[in-house]
Amino acid sequence: MDDILTVQHVQKSFGSKHVLQDVDFSIPTGSIFGFVGENGAGKTTTMRMILGLEKPDKGTITVGGEPVTFGATKTNRITGYLPDVPAFYDYMTPAEYLDLCARITGIDQRRQRIAKMLDLVGLKPDKHRIRGFSRGMKQRLGIAQALLNEPRLLICDEPTSALDPAGRNEFLELLASLRGQVTVLFSTHILSDVERISDRVGILHDGRLQACDTLVNLHKQFGRSQIVLTLADGATAQRCRQALAPLAVQAQGTIVTVTYHGDYAATVSQILRALVAANIAPVSLQQENPTLEQIFLEVIGDAHAAHDA
């Protein structure tokens, strides 16, 4: 699979502030990429550089194999953008607004295209003015606008942060429904949103992409998975802890927790063999997967440790 976007060794400072030190990543065509970082990490700056709205100090960016140049860039013909605070003409209906955008960008067969976009984002082609829209409806209209020119790459800056849970849910479903039709790059600091729909995740911290991989691989590399056993009583829990001593094991009350990296099946069979040998029958055994939030903390913790070393 080829990469729709490549960002190579990009650096950016504002005055004496080094925002991006060496950002390097690519996005395979057709995937949904969650771009994660704390406030001020440089997500918006990176996206603006991909759109040619900001000039990198060093490094190169390509979209669809073409280099992005600062200013009027050809690559924006295949890129759609939903800014963090999209601005609309409130007195227009969504169809009127999309018609205006389509005229400005010279889109053919406007009527069919607008009807298709409104249908895709679940907005009615009626006389309701944007003024009365909820934030969620405005975000969906923003997506319709960003998709108007049938882009190959859709960039969304913090698209869910201003939405309530129901609006977020709807919006994430809409983004997920675009999978396969358009490659999506969206930034957020809501990690559960990334976990729900992304194929790949990039974690931006300290001016670098500290991790960039599929969720499965991030779990493998950084996730500290746990297996939680419940025993009949405290004494059995202590015996269980001793039986499992070669593993990273803790006991508290009747609960014994084993923390492991890597393969669940291999670890659980090791546990079961040790329990059988010690003649211990647990009341329950449960697998607990790390959340992306735990992985994020692990990644930025590793970055700090490397920095301090």
Instruction: Catalog residues that contact ligand ATP under the rule CB under 6 A.
Output: 14, 19, 37, 39-45, 189
C-beta of 73 vs 187, nearer to ligand ATP: 187
Minimal distance, residue 22 CB to ligand ATP, in Å: 15
CA 110 to centroid of chain Cα atoms: 32
C-beta of 38 vs 302, nearer to ligand ATP: 38
Measured between alpha carbons, how far is 209 from 201 in angstroms, rounded to an integer?
10
Burial of 116 (0-12, 13-18, 19+ CB in 10 A): middle
Minimal distance, residue 209 CB to ligand ATP, in Å: 12
Measured between alpha carbons, how far is 154 from 80 in angstroms, rounded to an integer?
5
Minimal distance, residue 17 CB to ligand ATP, in Å: 6
C-beta of 40 vs 253, nearer to ligand ATP: 40
Measured between alpha carbons, how far is 186 from 193 in angstroms, rounded to an integer?
10
Minimal distance, residue 40 CB to ligand ATP, in Å: 4
Measured between alpha carbons, how far is 44 from 37 in angstroms, rounded to an integer?
10
C-beta of 163 vs 231, nearer to ligand ATP: 163
Decide: 168 and 178 in contact? Cβ < 8 Å: no
C-beta of 162 vs 255, nearer to ligand ATP: 162
Measured between alpha carbons, how far is 148 from 120 in angstroms, rounded to an integer?
11
Minimal distance, residue 10 CB to ligand ATP, in Å: 12
Minimal distance, residue 225 CB to ligand ATP, in Å: 29
Minimal distance, residue 156 CB to ligand ATP, in Å: 12
Query: How far from 247 is each of 220, 244, 260, 294, CA to CA, in Å?
Result: 18, 6, 8, 21
Strand partners, 35: 187, 202
Give kind and range of the element (H or E) at residue 302: helix 292-308
C-beta of 19 vs 95, nearer to ligand ATP: 19
Decide: 181 and 188 in contact? Cβ < 8 Å: no
C-beta of 161 vs 269, nearer to ligand ATP: 161
Q: Beta strands 3-14 and 17-28: pairing type?
A: antiparallel
